[in-house]
Amino acid sequence: MILGKAVSHSLFTRSILHCSPCLPSFSVSSCGRRAASTAAALKPASDVEVEEATPSPAHPLTDKDLARLRVQRNIGVSAHIDSGKTTLTERILFYTGRIRDIHEVRGRDSVGAKMDSMDLEREKGITIQSAATFCDWETTNAQDGAKTKYAMNIIDTPGHVDFTVEVERALRVLDGAVLVLCAVAGVQSQTTTVDRQMRRYNVPRVSFINKMDRPGSNPWRIVNQIRTKLRIPSAAVQVPIGVEDGFKGVVDLVNWRSIYNEGVKGSTVVYSEEIPEAVLDFAKVKRTELIEQLAEVDEEIGELFLNDEIPTNGQIAAAIRRSTIGLKFSPVFMGSAIKNTGVQPLLDGVCAYLPNPSESEVLAHDTNLPPTAPQVSLSPAAEAPMVGLAFKLEEGRFGQLTYMRVYQGTLKKGNIIYNARTGKKVKVPRLVRMHSNEMEDIDSIGPGEICAMFGVECSSGDTFTDGSTNYSMTSMYVPEPVISLAIKANGVETPNFSRALNRFQKEDPTFRVHLDKDSKETIISGMGELHLEIYVERMRREYNVDCTTGKPRVAFRETITQRAEFNYTHKKQTGGAGQFAKVVGYIEPMERDPETGKDVEFENVVMGASIPTNFIPAVEKGFYEALEKGSLSGNAISGCRLVLKEGGFHAVDSSELAFRLATIGAFREAYKVARPVILEPIMTVEVVAPSEFQSAVIGSLNTRRGTIVDSEVRDDEFTAIAEVALNEMFGYSNQLRGSTQGKGEFSMEYKHHMPVLPNLQKELEDAYRKTLPASKK
Ligand X SMILES: Nc1nc2c(ncn2[C@@H]2O[C@H](COP(=O)(O)OP(=O)(O)OP(=O)(O)O)[C@@H](O)[C@H]2O)c(=O)[nH]1
Q: Which residues are annotated as a binding site for GTP?
A: 79-86, 156-160, 210-213
Asked whether the beta carbons of 44 and 50 are under 8 A apart, the reply is: yes
Residues forming beta bridges with residue 427, ordered by sequence position: 416
Measured distance CA(300)–CA(466) in Å, rounded: 43
Could you write out the DSSP letters of every residue in 699-731? Answer: HHHHHTT-EEEEEEEETTEEEEEEEEEGGG-TT
CB of 338 to ligand X, least distance (A): 4
CB of 158 to ligand X, least distance (A): 6
Minimum CB distance to ligand X smaller for 112 or for 552: 112
Minimum CB distance to ligand X smaller for 87 or for 727: 87
Measured distance CA(184)–CA(187) in Å, rounded: 9
**Which DSSP category does 298 fall into?**
-
Vertex 171 angle, CA 170 and 172, to 5°: 90
Measured distance CA(558)–CA(601) in Å, rounded: 15
CB of 569 to ligand X, least distance (A): 56
Q: Which helix (H) or strand (E) holds 147?
A: strand 147-156
Q: Which residues, 6+ apart, have CB-to-CB distance to 249 below 8 Å?
A: 240, 241, 242, 258, 259, 260, 261, 341, 342
Minimum CB distance to ligand X smaller for 160 or for 365: 160
CB of 183 to ligand X, least distance (A): 8
Minimum CB distance to ligand X smaller for 214 or for 752: 214
Measured distance CA(625)–CA(637) in Å, rounded: 10
Minimum CB distance to ligand X smaller for 78 or for 633: 78
Strand ranges in 339-474 using DSSP code E only, listed in sequence order? 361-366, 376-378, 387-396, 399-408, 411-412, 416-419, 425-427, 430-435, 438-442, 444-445, 450-454, 463-465, 471-472
Measured distance CA(449)–CA(465) in Å, rounded: 15
Torsion of CA 425, 431, 433, 439, to 10 degrees: -120
CB of 113 to ligand X, least distance (A): 7
**Which DSSP category does 479 fall into?**
P
How far does Cα 282 stand from its chain's mean position? 38
Measured distance CA(225)–CA(238) in Å, rounded: 17
Minimum CB distance to ligand X smaller for 158 or for 186: 158
User: By C-alpha distance, which of 761, 736, 588 is closest to 680?
Assistant: 761
Binding site for ligand X (CB under 6 A): 79, 81-87, 104-105, 125-127, 158-160, 210-211, 213-214, 336-338
CB of 637 to ligand X, least distance (A): 34
Collapsing DSSP to helix, strand or coil, 603 comes out as strand
CB of 28 to ligand X, least distance (A): 29
Minimum CB distance to ligand X smaller for 86 or for 465: 86
CB of 212 to ligand X, least distance (A): 7
How far does Cα 311 stand from its chain's mean position? 38
Minimum CB distance to ligand X smaller for 1 or for 19: 1
Residue nearest to ligand X (CB): 159
CB of 492 to ligand X, least distance (A): 37
Minimum CB distance to ligand X smaller for 84 or for 409: 84
Output Rg (C-alpha) for the chain, integer angstroms.
28
CB of 151 to ligand X, least distance (A): 24
Minimum CB distance to ligand X smaller for 85 or for 405: 85
Binding-site positions read 79-86, 156-160, 210-213
Q: Is 69 exposed, middle or buried (0-12, 13-18, 19+ CB in 10 A)?
A: buried
Q: Is 371 exposed, middle or buried (0-12, 13-18, 19+ CB in 10 A)?
A: exposed
Measured distance CA(604)–CA(612) in Å, rounded: 12
**Which DSSP category does 533 fall into?**
H
Cα–Cα distance list, 444 to 151, 175, 399, 510 (Å): 15, 21, 20, 32
In this structure, the number of other CB atoms found within 10 A of the CB of residue 770 comes to 8
Minimum CB distance to ligand X smaller for 210 or for 475: 210
Establish how many alpha carbons lie within 13 A of residue 682's alpha carbon, considering only the half-sphere containing its beta carbon: 19
CB of 14 to ligand X, least distance (A): 10
CB of 393 to ligand X, least distance (A): 21
Minimum CB distance to ligand X smaller for 126 or for 198: 126
Measured distance CA(324)–CA(331) in Å, rounded: 7
Q: Is 564 exposed, middle or buried (0-12, 13-18, 19+ CB in 10 A)?
A: middle
Minimum CB distance to ligand X smaller for 213 or for 252: 213
CB of 80 to ligand X, least distance (A): 7
Phi/psi for 273 (5° steps) reads -75, -15
